[in-house]
Structure 1
Amino acid sequence: MALPCIEMLAATPEILRGLMSEISDEDARWKPAPDRFSIAEVLAHLSHSEGHCYRLRLDRFMAEDRPELEPDDASFHLDLYRNADPEDAFDHFEDQRITNVELLRTLTDEAGKRVALHR
């Protein structure tokens, strides 16, 4: 399936890497407020979401007729994100994104006609 959005997904890690190139570990762990995510926590969220939310949903979307997908709330995973190493989280996100983009590129145009329900 050749869609512009797939190329945008593929480009995201490089764009993020460029944005992060000047950020120190200390800056990445700084939180603007106690109830807000640090950059490191955002990266951990991206990593977790790419592998455990997006990919699982994509797999269900392709395997089931009209799957009903549960919402995902980042606040449920705060403990997972809290002490994440920003570089490790980014590397994991990047690996997962590459794998997911490779899968998306193998899908036929028929896959784009499938339907899922999101609560």
Structure 2
Amino acid sequence: MNLDYILERMADNAATVESLARSVGEEQARWKPSPTEWSILEVINHLYDEEREDFRTRLDYTLHRPGQPWPPIDPEGWVVARSYNSRELQPSLDNFLAERRRSMAWLRSLQAPNWSATYTHPRAGAITAGALLASWLAHDFLHIRQLTQLHWQFIGVVAPDCPVTYAGPW
């Protein structure tokens, strides 16, 4: 595993998320393409909670607490239970960025981690620490894609009579 690559991408991804959210106004931050889809604000708060309660915590358990069950999480449920869409964007973004800095410092402080250490998840099966770290990076890209799509879809709100077909297919 190329750890330097993963850490560099994770740091860069934080900057990408920041650039996709920093100048978003309140209307756009809370706007959802449909009732079942997430807003930009919900994505940012999801990333914040995932950073501290999912990936970093679960990687720590896998590396340093073998055999102990991972703490439970409910990412889908948290969106409503934690009222993500009623929060303010700037503090939410700042929270995510601060947690990512903590994660990066923690990851860089690890001394000879055993990336082959394995946790057996009740639904996902056996997952190594390395696969969990790679999944953390992949999770970033899934939500960067989602944020980008939300921006693309919002064009229909700000320019409803202006089709964007000339741009090319999504």
| Normalised TM-score (structure 1) | 0.84
Quote the residue 1:25 is aligned against: 26
Q: In the alignment, residue 55 of structure 2 is paired with which amino acid?
A: Y
Deviation at 1:33, TM superposition (A): 0.5
Quote the residue 1:10 is aligned against: 11
Counterpart secondary structure, 1:65: coil
Q: Distance in 1 between matches of 2:59 and 2:27?
A: 35
Bigger relative contact order, structure 1 or 2 (CA pairs below 8 A, ≥6 apart): 1
Quote the residue 2:118 is aligned against: 115
Quote the residue 2:106 is aligned against: 103
Q: Distance in 2 between matches of 1:31 and 1:106?
A: 39
- Structure 1 position 94 matched with structure 2 position 105: no
Structure 2 residue ranges without an equivalent (≥5): 124-170
- What is the RMSD computed on CA atoms of the aligned residues? 2.2
Identity among equivalent positions (%) equals 27
Quote the residue 1:57 is aligned against: 58
How many residues align? The count is 119
Structure 1 residue ranges without an equivalent (≥5): none
Which protein has the larger Cα radius of gyration, Structure 1 or Structure 2?
2
Deviation at 1:46, TM superposition (A): 0.6
Asked if structure 1 preserves the Cα contact closer than 8 Å seen for 2:62 and 2:117, the reply is yes
Counterpart secondary structure, 1:31: coil
